[in-house]
Amino acid sequence: MQQQPAPILPQRSLWSRGLLMLLMGLAYQLASSLLLCVAIVQFVVVLALGAPNQRLKNFGADLGLYLGQIAQFQSFAADALPFPFADWPSNA
């Protein structure tokens, strides 16, 4: 039994994906910087109040899901485009 070769993406589709990968790479950098800011603010909130802010906690979790979606798209593990081409991921 022979294995079927993986289908090759059409050249135009591959170039479009390459452009989208560049854009999503920029979005990843921006989102990871934002996550760092959220982590710092959350740390200060916990120092000051003794408990984490629930909204920041939820946003940080959603941002982590978003970063994961971008990583899956970048590595060809998923074909689905992340936000802003799809809904914002929600941990709820």
Q: In the prediction, which pLDDT does 1 show?
A: 53
pLDDT tens sequence for the chain (92 residues): 566 655 555 566 888 999 999 999 999 999 999 999 999 999 999 999 999 999 999 999 999 999 999 999 999 999 899 998 888 888 76
Please tell me the distance from the alpha carbon of residue 2 to that of residue 33, in angstroms, as a whole number.
47
Q: In the prediction, which pLDDT does 82 show?
A: 92
Q: In the prediction, which pLDDT does 72 show?
A: 95
Work out whether the CA dihedral 41, 47, 48, 53 comes out positive or negative.
positive
Three-class DSSP category at 30: helix
